């Protein structure tokens, strides 16, 4: 079965714009065209799209994704280089996760403070206007 851009977007929960952009950048080597030059996506093309999308979401640049795609197309002899790329991106993504976990902890702490303030009828001690600087 071959899907249109719209169908592929729905299936992968991506925007049609992103799919067109990725295909225009050469990130989907398996994309086909019909007689009217409309893009058609088989399972292989969907796999490329999904992989490209995940790599981009980890913060990989378009240039880096394109390099990775090109290595994949080249074949098995590039497996060691592809492994190093994925390993490096994994480290970056794990750091992003650690940073996000710190941000969540900060927000949870702030949320607890505000919950306390909402149930406390005392003055608004969260507002710098009410701080006693003496």
Domain that holds residue 71: 5-120
Residue 129 belongs to some domain of the structure: no
CATH number of the structural domain spanning residue 104: 1.10.1660.10
Q: What's the pLDDT tens digit per position in 69-90? A: 999 999 999 999 999 999 999 9
Q: What is the pTM of this model?
A: 0.80
Q: What is the Cα–Cα distance from 115 to 47, expressed in whole angstroms?
A: 45
Q: Is 64 helix (H, G, I), strand (E, B) or coil?
A: helix
Q: What's the pLDDT tens digit per position in 11-49? A: 999 999 999 999 999 999 999 999 999 999 999 999 999
Amino acid 64: pLDDT: 98
- The HSE-up count of residue 21 (CA atoms within 13 Å, CB side) is 11
Q: Is 53 helix (H, G, I), strand (E, B) or coil?
A: helix
Residue 65 belongs to some domain of the structure: yes
pLDDT at 113 over 90: no
Q: What's the pLDDT tens digit per position in 89-105? A: 999 999 999 999 999 99
Q: What is the Cα–Cα distance from 102 to 96, expressed in whole angstroms?
A: 10
- Per the CB < 8 A criterion, the answer to whether 55 and 89 are in contact is yes
Structurally, how many domains does the chain consist of?
1
Residue 134 belongs to some domain of the structure: no
């Amino acid at each position: 079965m071959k899907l249109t851009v719209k169908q592929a977007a729905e299936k992968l929960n991506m925007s049609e714009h992103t799919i067109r952009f990725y295909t225009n950048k050469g990130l989907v080597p398996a994309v086909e065209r019909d007689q009217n030059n409309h893009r058609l996506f088989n399972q292989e093309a969907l796999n490329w799209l999904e992989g490209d999308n995940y790599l981009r979401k980890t913060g990989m640049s378009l240039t880096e994704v394109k390099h990775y795609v090109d290595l994949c197309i080249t074949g098995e002899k590039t497996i060691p280089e592809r492994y190093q790329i994925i390993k490096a991106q994994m480290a970056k993504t794990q750091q992003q996760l650690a940073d996000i976990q710190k941000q969540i902890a900060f927000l949870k702490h702030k949320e607890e403070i505000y919950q306390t303030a909402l149930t406390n009828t005392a003055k608004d001690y969260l507002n710098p206007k009410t701080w006693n600087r003496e």
